[in-house]
Structure 1
Amino acid sequence: MNPHFVQMPPPMVLSFAASDPSGGAGLQADLMTASALGCHALSVTTALTVQDSVGVASILAVDADWVEDQARTLLEDMPVAAFKIGLLGSAENMLIIAEILADYPLLPVVLDPVLASGRGDELADEEMIGTLREVLLPLTTILTPNSLEARRLADEAHDANDADGPLALDDCAQRLLSFGCQYVLLTGTHENTPRVVNSLYGRERGLLRSDVWDRLPGSYHGSGCTLASAIAAHLARGLPVSEAVQAAQEFTWHALAAGFRAGMGQHLPDRFFRTRVSSGGLVV
């Protein structure tokens, strides 16, 4: 090797999220996804959790000062190309992260609003949801809620049992955009449709694209984390928003399709599906 050759570092994605000991979601999902897509993953731990593939038993939020120190130390040392935000643990953490993001207005921010686990465990109270709307959405480049999260974040007053039904997703997207984020990617996994429809909306032009995917059997732990992290990784690598969203969906669908059941609960995505050896040889 040429001793004068300098290896350029890969793009760096900084994730603010809770630790998931199962490796299915949270920081672990973010680290694996960013790495699989050619980025170097940096992490700021916002909370510790007791959880497995079945559900979340308890959460311990990290003190906001510790969250700030973790992030500031990394940001002063390394050139971050994109931020990814997941479960934050407390309203105080949201406030301190908003202050940090405001110091880096040119970097893309992908926010996955983790409000509940796949089993339905509540992961955010009303104070946290209100703080997220007020201080984080105005700093967000792309918000990536599923339909349940979108309706809750939009603070819709409709009752799902009313004759009119739940708030239309188009209306949810417009309401969320009005809170200040630049784009909303609404995922349709929880909708009663034959295939999954994911729709990207922008503040200026409304609906920008809809992508349709075959609905996979079963349920998956960490699918939302994987999608949001993949978008952040592609943005860090320089793709424009629409292309990053499409490429991230494709990666996520294949990771889910190759998923495995490691425990007694949901399947886990295989973010390294490209490197697994199958009966036909190396998967590329």
Structure 2
Amino acid sequence: MSQSPHPPVVLIIAGNDPSGGAGVTADTQAVSALGCHPAPVITALTVQDTLNAYRVEVSDPDLVAEQAATVLDDLPVAAVKLGLLGNAEVGEAVAGVLESHPELPVVLDPVLVAAGGARLAEENLIDCLKQRLMPLSTVLTPNASEARSLAPNARDPAARAEYLRGLGSDWVLHKGADEDTPDVDNFLFGPDGQREDFRWERLPGQYHGSGCTLASAIAARLAHGDDPPLAVQHAQHWTWLALSRGWRLGKGQYIPNRLGGQ
């Protein structure tokens, strides 16, 4: 029996959200919708709904590392997406695995706080992100709040991105959905002063899992061979469409409709 060419594989390292709005469900839906095969590694179990998060149980770091290493030994991984890591111990374990695969593009979504305001990661993760994971990342995707936490002394998106790129990230996509602006302004900063500005119509309501969706879409496009600027452009457009057709399935935020095609 003949087989069709296999899809690119995206290794997803993130936490589980039982509402299905964010976390590995958002990641696997986005990666699958964009023609890739998701390989999910679970870093944490959360008690969470479309309103907020209430509890986080972080996985054993060795178990996380074993999951990731086993996938990398078996499957032809083309890109990696990092989401909720929970604490520095898990972050260190993930870094240890990825350091053996420097050829892989890595999208790092520095998840620190839930959309409802609950803290999802321990404070010690911030130093691990800066010291171990940003040097391994191809694209870093902080929202404005996360960027302020990671670069507290920088006063604007350009200064924050310069600081974060100085820590090792090749590209920084500074997202503005959580800012009080008429439209959503995202800024991509890269090597040699490269910068691209993106403006998206601000949709009504709030969305649960939009950051996970966008970061995973970028990883999927990198897995298909796009360079980072093109991957970011395509992923933002696809994510905006997913948000625009989103559902309010629960009592809180809308959930992006990642199943509506490309």
Report the alpha carbon displacement of residue 104 of structure 1 after superposing the two structures with TM: 0.7
Letter in 1 for 2:43: T
1:31 corresponds to which residue?
A: 28
- Partner Cα separation in structure 1 for residue 52 and residue 181 of structure 2: 25
Specify the alignment match of 2:183 in structure 1: 195
Establish whether residue 263 from structure 1 lines up as the match of residue 250 from structure 2: yes
CA–CA distance in 1 between the matches of 2:168 and 2:151? 12
Q: 1:155: Cα distance to partner?
A: 2.9
In the TM superposition, structure 1's runs of 4+ consecutive aligned residues that sit over 3 Å from their partners are: none
Would you say the 8 A contact 2:110–2:142 is kept in 1? yes
| 1:185 equivalent in structure 2 | 173
CA contact (8 A) 2:138 2:171 kept: yes
Which of residues 124, 141, 149 in structure 2 aligns to 1:127?
124
Match of 1:91 among 67, 88, 91: 88
Root-mean-square deviation (CA), in Å?
A: 1.1
Select which of 192, 206, 209 maps to 1:204: 192
What do the CA deviations read for 1:92-143 (whole angstroms, capped 9, x no partner)?
1100110111111011000001110111101123211111111101111000
- Give the structure 1 partner of residue 222 of structure 2: 235
Correspondence 1:217 to 2:214: no
Matched, 1:50 2:62: no
- CA distance in structure 2 between the aligned counterparts of 1:237 and 1:203, rounded to whole angstroms: 22
Could you tell me whether the CA contact under 8 Å between 2:86 and 2:122 is conserved in 1?
no
Aligned partners of 2:84, 2:97: CA distance in 1, in Å?
16
Question: Please, what TM-score do these two structures have when normalized by structure 2?
Answer: 0.97
- Which residue of structure 1 lines up, in the alignment, with residue 259 of structure 2? 272
Query: Structure 1 residue aligned with 2:77, among 68, 73, 80?
Result: 80
Unaligned stretches of 5+ in structure 2?
Answer: none
TM-score, normalized by length of structure 1? Answer: 0.90
Show the counterpart of 1:161. Answer: none
How many residues are aligned here? 262
Greater Rg over alpha carbons, structure: 1
Structure 1 position 21 matched with structure 2 position 56: no
| Aligned equivalents of 2:149, 2:227: Cα separation in 1 | 28
Give the deviation of 1:192 after TM superposition: 2.2
C-alpha distance after superposition, 1:64-116 (max 9, x if no partner): 11101111111111110000000012211100110111111011000001110
Aligned to 1:136: 133
Question: Hey, what's the Cα distance between the residues in 1 that align with 2:118 and 2:192?
Answer: 35
> Is the 8 Å Cα contact of residues 245 and 256 (structure 2) preserved in structure 1?
yes
Provide the identity percentage: 49
1:114 matches 2:111: yes
**Aligned-pair distance for 1:260?**
0.6
| Correspondences of 1:147-186 after superposition (within 5 Å) | 147-156=144-153, 167-186=155-174
Q: Distance in 2 between matches of 1:226 and 1:19?
A: 14
Q: Distance in 2 between matches of 1:186 and 1:42?
A: 26
